[in-house]
Amino acid sequence: MFAQLPAEKAKQARYTRAQQRAMATAPPPSENGEAAGDAAGEDDASAGVADLDPFSSQDPVEVLSKVPGNLEEQLDSKKWSDRKEALEALHAVIGKPRLLPGDYGNVLRMLKKCFGDSNVLVIVHAAICVEDIAKGLREEFAPYYALVRKLFFFFCAETNAKF
């Protein structure tokens, strides 16, 4: 049965509309059958760019000393707007691409209290601050994961129950 098939590779004769549009906008193939942008030198250069991690090229920023000293007082305020402004100020401080590892436990404990707030904006800003710390620390965030893990699972379960 397979002996009757030709030895050359099968070539596609019909194309979908998306393939036809892509072929119309693609550069014409070169003499060796590759597209004009598929030269071997360009593949090597693009592979080097893809391996570069922007996080590793950034210098870590020390932010713990820049955290406002009265943050806990502001987060305990009775006015929700004061709590939200305190979290926005904290976000401005810790919203850096790479953070210097340190003791973020106290900051995360203060943020953990905000998750019990009655105002949704305060909760959202607290979650954004936790996300900033997690993204800035990456692997160094592992010891603090236990502090916030239950909170996020609780809110995910609560949100799904409402819908």
Does a structural domain hold residue 152? yes
pLDDT at 64: 93
| 84 and 42 part of one domain | no
Say what the alpha-carbon torsion angle 111, 116, 120, 121 is, to the nearest 10 degrees: -20
Q: What is the pLDDT of residue 129?
A: 95
Mark whether 22 and 71 lie in a shared domain: no
Sign of the alpha-carbon dihedral angle for 78, 81, 83, 86? negative
Q: CB within 8 A of 137, min separation 6: which ones?
A: 99, 101, 104, 144
pLDDT of residue 10: 81
pLDDT of 55: 80
Q: Are residues 104 and 145 in the same domain?
A: yes
* Exposure of 161 in the CB half-sphere (CA atoms within 13 A): 6
Residue 157's domain comprises 64-162
Its pTM surpasses 0.75: no
Q: How far is CA 56 from CA 16, 91, 134, 138, 139, in A?
A: 42, 22, 15, 11, 12
**Domain annotation covers residue 7:** no
- At 78, list the tokens: 């009775």
CA distance 83 to 77: 6
Are residues 155 and 81 both part of a single domain?
A: yes
**Phi-psi region at 138: left, alpha or beta (left = phi > 0; alpha = psi -120 to 50):** left
Instruction: Provide the domain count of the chain.
Output: 2
Same structural domain, 28 and 89: no
Query: How far apart are the C-alpha atoms of 27 and 36, rounded to whole Å?
Result: 6
For residues 24 and 100, state if they share a domain: no
> Are 76 and 23 found together in one domain?
no
Token pair for 121? 């904006």
Tell me what pLDDT residue 50 has.
56
Decide: 95 and 67 in contact? Cβ < 8 Å: no
Same domain, 37 and 115: no
Residue 10 lies in a domain: no
Claim to verify: residue 42 and residue 83 sit in the same structural domain: no
pLDDT at 131 (0 to 100): 93
Same domain as 39, residue 81: no
**What was the pLDDT predicted at 163?**
42
Inside any domain, residue 147: yes
Residue 9 falls inside a structural domain: no
Q: What is the reported pLDDT for 160?
A: 54
Q: What CATH code is carried by the domain that includes residue 119?
A: 1.25.10.10
68 bridge partner residues: none
The ranges of the chain with pLDDT < 50 are: 37-42, 44-45, 163
120 and 77 in a single domain? The answer is yes
